Amino acid sequence: MLRGAGKTGRLFKSRGAACEPSGHHPSGRFCPSACLRSIASTDGQSAFADGPVACERTEPVTPTQNGSEHPIDMARVYLSLGSNQEPHRYLRAALNELRAHFGDIDVSPAYRSAAVGFDGADFINLAVGLDTELSPNELNDWLHALEDRHGRRRDVPRYADRTLDVDIVLYDDLVTQGPGHLDIPRKELKHAFVLKPIADIAPEMRHPVNGRTMAELWAAFPVESEPLIIEQL
């Protein structure tokens, strides 16, 4: 297996041919790097300082021959979903669409927290882990269309009440930015409402910049500064 460096400086892997400097395989497909880390325990439990949290897994994960938990020609992606307008309705609808399009997904517990950056109703947030062949830009466009289908308004300030907000937080170990507010890894990982759900389902996933695992980042987080309350969907 040959390696090629994307223009972000991250390593990409492909089968039988090197990736171009742009991060694309000669076949024209985007080449995400392989994620060789365990994303969660097979019993669906993750333990943190505040005790074990049950994580929903739609199907057991079977490691591939190279030891990864997803096919090498697919990227492992972690999304943050949030809503503060009829959140139970819109988050359930978004999960249904993600399952229908991407198949098996990992879903974290949902958490209620105060709005950040503006005065508004409490948000409910959760994280989803999935495998995809879409490039970051293609996935970002698909997620924006998902938001639009569920009433997301684009004619209001960016930090405002919303029916559905879905962001790509991690895409394998990629570091990149692009149109449509694409920013990987997502800077909102500094907030509890993004970090904790991802740490629940991917405790050993490493931050592509600082190299720390999600579990390590959460263990060092000042939890009293951004209280979270588990919310049933």
Active-site residue (options: 141, 161, 165, 183): 165
Give the three-class secondary structure for 178: strand
pLDDT, tens digit, 9 for 90 and up, residues 71-124 = 568 999 999 999 999 999 999 999 999 999 999 999 999 999 999 888 899 999
Q: Which of the following is catalytic: 167, 172, 173, 200?
A: 167
Task: Report residue 29 as tokens.
Answer: 């497909």
Look at 40-44, 77-81, 102-106, 152-156 and tell me which has the smallest mean pLDDT: 40-44
Active-site hit among 57, 106, 131, 152: 152
SS3 of residue 161 by DSSP: coil
| Distances in whole angstroms, Cα of residue 212 to Cα of each of 186, 218, 223 | 15, 10, 18
Residue range 156-165: average pLDDT? 81
Cα separation, 66 vs 95, whole angstroms: 29
Does the annotation mark 165 as catalytic?
A: yes
What average pLDDT does the segment 126-140 reach? 97
Name the residue among 4, 30, 2, 29 with its Cα closest to residue 15.
2
Q: Please pick, among 162, 172, 186, 200, the residue that the annotation labels catalytic.
A: 162
pTM: predicted TM-score of the whole model, two decimal places: 0.71
Q: Report the SS3 class of residue 196.
A: helix
Split at pLDDT 50, 70, 90, the class of 154 is low
Average pLDDT over residues 195-218: 98
76 tagged catalytic: no
Q: 199: closest CA among 191, 75, 124?
A: 191
Output helix, strand, coil percentages for the chain, rounded to the nearest 5. Answer: 25, 25, 50
* Catalytic residue status for 155: no
Which of 33-47, 124-138, 142-156 has the weakest average pLDDT?
Answer: 33-47
Domains of the chain: 1-31 (no CATH), 35-231 (3.30.70.560)
Q: Residue 41 CB: number of other CB atoms within 10 A?
A: 13
- Per-residue pLDDT tens for 180-203? 889 999 999 999 999 999 999 999
Question: Is 206 designated active site?
Answer: no
Continuous H helices in the chain: 87-102, 136-149, 192-201, 214-219
